[in-house]
Amino acid sequence: MSEIIRIAVDGPGGAGKSTIAKLVAKKLGIEYIDTGAMYRAIGYKTSVKGIDPANLPAMEDMLSDTTIDFVGGSIILDGENVDGAIRTPKMSMMASKVSQLAPVRAKLVASQRQMAAAKSVIMDGRDIGTNVMPDAEYKFFMTASAEERADRRYKELVQKGIDADYDEVLKDIEKRDYEDTHRELDPLKPAEDAIILDTTGIGIDEVVERILGEVK
């Protein structure tokens, strides 16, 4: 694509944002930025180092020595591919905790804005259209019922060989939804000019085509 375009995709966990965004990126030939993975990566490093997220000086010290990048669709934390390590219910909750911290948000949002300024991107997360890229050319808010989102996440974990319990996954989804929508810093909500896409009972291809139809 000759001109730089920015596509924001927001929504709760399990709505299919990452899957859809990756496919749209491939069809349009633009970069996919998984901001949720960035918060998961910070949560993962916090957990591995045994740092209490409430200890802001320790968090800030850790952040000053942290690098996050995307290579071939994989997230690289301090030079290491952590795709598998961050895709667990525990890391989902850790991501929710660290995403409420101002120093973490400041570092990652600055990084995300730099990416969006340099090239055409489709970026998914919780506050892309409302905070990270409020001037994005296209904004979408994807959602689905908590039960369907839990079922998708459960099947994803089982497929990866991770031991999972549907009821626990649903409980985690509902807890994450509450925390994301009630946090003080940039709570999860649709941008005023976002197109709402309820993916409950809708196939992936149909959602991709609806987004491509709007962009093209």
Per-residue model confidence (pLDDT) at position 185: 83
Per-residue model confidence (pLDDT) at position 71: 79
Q: What is d(CA 166, CA 153) in angstroms, rounded to the nearest whole number?
A: 9
Tell me the CATH number at 203: 3.40.50.300
> In the 3-class helix/strand/coil scheme, how is 24-47 assigned residue by residue?
HHHHHCCEEEEHHHHHHHHHHHHH
The residues, any chain, with a CB within 8 Å of residue 65's CB and separated by 6 or more, are: none
Residue 118 inside a domain? The answer is: yes
Residue 1 inside a domain? The answer is: no
Per-residue model confidence (pLDDT) at position 2: 56
Domain total for the chain?
1
Residue 123 inside a domain? The answer is: yes
Q: Output the known binding site for ATP.
A: 11-19
Per-residue model confidence (pLDDT) at position 209: 96
> Which among 129, 147, 146 is positioned nearest to 138, based on CA atoms?
129
Residue 85 inside a domain? The answer is: yes
pTM of the predicted model over 0.75? yes
- The parent domain of residue 211 ranges over 6-215
Q: Digits of tens for pLDDT over the chain (216 positions)? A: 458 999 999 999 889 998 999 999 999 999 899 898 999 999 999 999 999 999 999 999 999 999 998 877 789 999 999 999 998 889 988 998 999 899 999 999 999 999 899 889 999 999 999 999 999 999 999 999 999 999 999 998 899 888 899 999 999 999 989 988 998 888 999 999 999 999 998 989 999 999 999 998
Residue 71 inside a domain? The answer is: yes
Q: What is d(CA 91, CA 191) in angstroms, rounded to the nearest whole number?
A: 26
Q: What is d(CA 100, CA 211) in angstroms, rounded to the nearest whole number?
A: 29
